[in-house]
Amino acid sequence: MWAIAGLRGGLEHGEPWHHAGRRANKQNVFDDFHSAADWLVAQGMASTAHLGLVGGSNGGLLVGAALTQRPDLARAVWCAVPLLDMVRFPLFHIARLWTDEYGDPDVPEEFGWLLAYSPYHSVDPLPDHPADPSTSYPAVLFTTAEGDTRVDPLHARKMAALLQHASANQRDRPVLLLQAGRAGHGVGKPASMRVAEGVDVLSFLSWQLGPDSM
């Protein structure tokens, strides 16, 4: 089963719906997403052990926030060409143009909004002592592209490295990074590259969400 969550922040229900999920209200988007996943489980349409989250670009930010805010929500996550470091995002490529939508980290109040949900800054570190509890994260596949001029691939790379460290004890739930060469954000990607990426993604999700994932 494939489900698409209806979230505040889009334009499908007019500007009030849009404004309810942007800037200081951005957390509403993540809360809506969590609620959608919880509803699927409550209705018996899914189980946490067989639920995967998928999002790319701004949707990569969405699933990045979900895996750090609610690591119990799903077994696996595909996070594609994502925006994940919300404290430094305006410094790279064209992202300075997006501060009207997300907020500007150079403005103290807006920095507070961004830091509160920034996925990169929300990863729990691996405990210093083996007896200490640690967060159990889902398996994650980050995909990005070397030539992405919209969202810098550094977001996926640094998040993958940090999450790999934080989940080093989770051998059955790996954190993987797939970076394509000679590709960008996705627009205009040839069919052969889309098919190859699809094979990798479906293999990852089938591996993690199949009957043996319990």
Which listed residue (85, 152, 167, 185) is catalytic?
185
Query: How many whole angstroms separate alpha carbon 198 and alpha carbon 146?
Result: 18
Is 148 an annotated catalytic residue? yes
Which listed residue (18, 38, 47, 57) is catalytic?
57
Query: How many whole angstroms separate alpha carbon 23 and alpha carbon 158?
Result: 24
Distance separating the N- and C-terminal Cα atoms of the chain: 18
- What does DSSP assign to residue 199? H
In this structure, the strands spanning 175-180 and 76-80 are unpaired
Q: Is 29 helix (H, G, I), strand (E, B) or coil?
A: helix
CB atoms within 10 A of CB 201: 17
Which listed residue (85, 118, 148, 167) is catalytic?
148
Is 57 an annotated catalytic residue? yes
Pair of tokens at residue 126: 């691996």
List residues with catalytic annotation: 57, 148, 185
